[in-house]
Amino acid sequence: MTGKIHTIASASKALAAGRTTATELVEDSLARIAEHDARLHSFVLLTAEAARRTARAADAAIKRGKRLGALHGVPFALKDIYGTAGIRTTAHSRLLMKNIPKRDSTVARRLAEAGGVLMGKLATHEFATGGPAYDLPFPPARNPWNTDHFTAGSSSGSGAAVAAGLVPLGMGSDTSGSIRGPAAFCGVAGFKPTYGIVPRTGVIPLAFSLDHCGPLAWTSEDCALTMDAIAGPDGEDPACAPGPIGNFTSGIGRGIRGMRIGVIRHFYERDVEGERDAVDAIEASLKVLKRLGASLVTIKLPPHADWDACCRVLLYAEANAIHERDLAERPEAYAEITRIRLLAGASISGADVIHALRWRRQLCHEYGKALAEVDAVVTASALGAAPRLDDLTEPPYLAPRGKLIMTPFSLTGAPALSVCAGYDAKGLPLSLQIAGRPFDDANVLRVGHAYERATPWRDRRPVL
C-alpha cells in the first residue's frame, strides 16, 4: 500500500509509466474504505474480491502491452441505481433488497470494457429522491469534510467517497441536481452531461425526461476522461442522441483565453438568497476567469423559481407514474420521506403536466437565446455550504434540502458542471457552476479545468 490518493489522471499516468499497479490502487482504496467508511457510510456494498481479480487481470494486460486507455486499472464505484449483473442493486430501498440484475447497465459495462475496476455500490437517497432518511436499509452517507453535515443528494455516496479519496470516480445520476448538489457540498467536480449523451439503460429511473447519468470525480479533467468512456448511443435508450458524440477531453489544457462567458447573476443575487461566503466565492471565481482571459457578460434568464416549479412538477408527475403500483401495494416499504414525495405527485393533473411541458419548451427557447451570444455560462451551484444532516430528516419533505441552483440546467438538458470554489470559515466546501449549450459539453469541462488549475482548491482534502 502506498497511502497516496490518486485522481483518475494521476493514477492513469502512474499505471502507464509502471510506477503503480491496479492491484496497488485497489488495495489502497480498500484500506481507506476499511479505515473511514464506517463513519462515512458511502458504500452500501463492497465487491472487494471481484475488484482484486479485475485488478490482477488489468495488471497482466498492461504488462503485456494491452493497456486499454485512461481508466484501465483505475478503481471506481457506482451509485446503487446502476444495474450490475449478478451484484445486488437496491436503489437504497427495502423494495429492492433482493434485486440482482441479470445484466449490467450500459455505463457499468462500458466502464468495465474500459478496464475500470468496480469497487462496489454507493449510497443514494432512496430511488434517487427520498432522503436523507434513517428509516431505510442503509444509513445516509455523511460529508467527509464534517460528518455532522449533509452530502446533498441523491448521489450522496458518490460525493462522499470521492471527496474522501476512497475511489477516484463515483458514478451518479442527476434529475434535478443529484450530481451537482453532492459535488458542491462535498467539494468535488460533478458533471451532468447533455441529456441523451450517456445511455440510462439499466439504471433505475426517477423521471424519464429528466434523468441524466454522469461522473463525480476530484477534477473536471477526471470527469472528461470518464465521459470519453461512457458517452454515445447504445441503441436501447430512446432518449439518446445519435452518435458520434465527440471528444470530451478536447478542451482540457487549452485554457479559456478569448472565451465569452455569460454570468447569470440574478440567480444568486436576487432569485435565491445566498450565504455571504458562497456569493463571495462566486465573485472571486469570476475574477479568476477574467484573469485567465475570458470576457464576462451578464446575462438574464427567467427567474429561478420558474425553472424550479416547472422541473419539480414534471419530476414528481413522472416519479409518481413509475412508483404508482408499489405505492398502492406496499407503501410501507418506502421511507417516509420517499413515500410522501412520491404520493404527492399523484395530485398533479394531466392538464398540469401538459402546461408544464409547454412551459418547458418556452424556457428551453429562452435558454437557447441567452446562450447564443456566449461560449458558456457561470452561476452558483450551492448558495451556501452543506447544512447539518440531522436538520434535514424531518418534514416538511417537499422543501429543498439546501440552497441549490440546479433545475435550469435539468430542464434544458444542458451540460452543467459543479466545481469547488473554496471553503467557508468552518472548512466546508463552496462551489461554482459552469454550464453551456446542449452538446457543448467539452467547452464546459474546458472552463472547469482551467478554473481548477488556476486556483488552489484541489490541493486540500478532508482530514478524516
Residue with cell 486507455: 69
Q: How many CB atoms lie within 10 A of CB 293?
A: 12
Rule CB under 8 A: choose which of 205, 408, 438, 462 binds another protein: 462
The binder of another protein chosen from 192, 312, 446, 449 (CB under 8 A): 312
Cα–Cα distance, 169 to 118 (Å, whole number) = 10
3-state secondary structure of 69: coil
Binding test (CB under 8 A) with another protein, winner from 22, 111, 272, 356 = 356
**Which region among 81-89, 111-119, 171-179, 300-308 touches another protein (by CB under 8 A)?**
300-308
Looking at 4, 254, 354, 368, which residue binds another protein (CB under 8 A)? 354
| Residue 147 is a binding residue for another protein (CB under 8 A) | yes
Q: Is 178 a catalytic residue?
A: yes
Respond yes or no: is residue 173 known to be catalytic: no
Among the listed residues 168, 191, 205, 177, the one whose alpha carbon sits nearest the alpha carbon of residue 82: 205
In the set 46, 50, 99, 146, which binds another protein (CB under 8 A)? 146
- The C-alpha cell of 33 is what? 474504505
Please pick, from the candidates 283, 347, 369, 391, the single residue that binds another protein as defined by CB under 8 A. Answer: 347
Closest distance to another protein from the beta carbon of 29 (Å): 21
Indicate if 347 belongs to the active site: no
| Closer by beta carbon to another protein, 119 or else 392 | 392
Which of 63, 66, 148, 293 touches another protein by CB under 8 A?
Answer: 148
Residue among 29, 79, 93, 158 flagged as catalytic = 79
Q: Which one of 29, 154, 158, 173 is the catalytic residue? A: 154
Contact (Cβ atoms closer than 8 angstroms) between residue 289 and residue 296: yes
CA dist 100 and 84 (Å) reads 8
Figure out which of the listed residues 45, 167, 301, 310 binds another protein, where binding follows CB under 8 A.
310
Closer to another protein at the Cβ: 89 or 412? 412
Cβ neighbours of residue 23 under 8 Å, at least 6 residues apart?
52, 55, 56, 59
Q: What is the DSSP letter of 397?
A: T
CA distance 154 to 307: 19
CA distances from 368 to 132, 158, 444 (A): 34, 31, 16
- With binding defined as CB under 8 A, does residue 305 bind another protein? yes
Closest to another protein by CB, 288 vs 344, is 344
Strand, coil or helix: what is 29? Answer: helix
Is residue 393 near another protein by the rule CB under 8 A? yes
By CB under 8 A, the residues from 370 to 389 that bind another protein are 389
Locus of grid cell 419533505: 397
Is position 351 an interface residue for another protein (rule: CB under 8 A)? yes
Of residues 84 and 393, the one with the C-beta less far from another protein? 393
Catalytic residue among 178, 220, 285, 431: 178
Q: Name the one range near another protein by CB under 8 A: 69-77, 88-96, 122-130, 307-315.
A: 307-315
Shorter beta-carbon distance to another protein: residue 258 or 395: 395
Beta-strand pair 260-263/376-379: parallel
Q: Which of 257, 355, 369, 373 binds another protein (CB under 8 A)?
A: 355
Q: Contact at 8 Å (CB) between 240 and 261?
A: no
- Note whether 153 and 401 are within 8 A (CB): yes
If one asks whether residue 369 binds another protein (CB under 8 A), the answer comes out as no
The three cell numbers locating residue 32:
481507506
Out of 68, 357, 370, 454, the residue judged to bind another protein by CB under 8 A: 357
Between 297 and 305, whose beta carbon lies closer to another protein? Answer: 305
Neighbours of 267 (CB within 10 A): 23
Q: How many residues bind another protein (CB under 8 A)?
A: 53
Measuring CA to CA, how many Å separate 434 from each of 206, 241, 272, 304, 387?
A: 24, 22, 17, 16, 23
Subset of 325-344 contacting another protein (CB under 8 A): 336, 340-341, 343-344
Phi first, then psi: give them for residue 225, nearest 5 degrees: -60, -40
Residue closer to another protein by CB (options 61, 357) is: 357
Q: Given the DSSP bridges, would you call strands 75-79 and 429-435 parallel, antiparallel or unpaired?
A: unpaired
Instruction: Please name the residues in contact with 384: beta carbons below 8 A apart, sequence gap of 6 or more.
Output: 274, 275, 277, 278, 402, 403
Residues classed as catalytic = 79, 154, 178
**Chain residues in the site for another protein (CB under 8 A):** 39, 134-135, 139, 142, 144-148, 305-306, 308-310, 312-313, 316, 336, 340-341, 343-345, 347-348, 351-352, 354-359, 361-362, 389-390, 393-399, 423, 426-427, 460-464
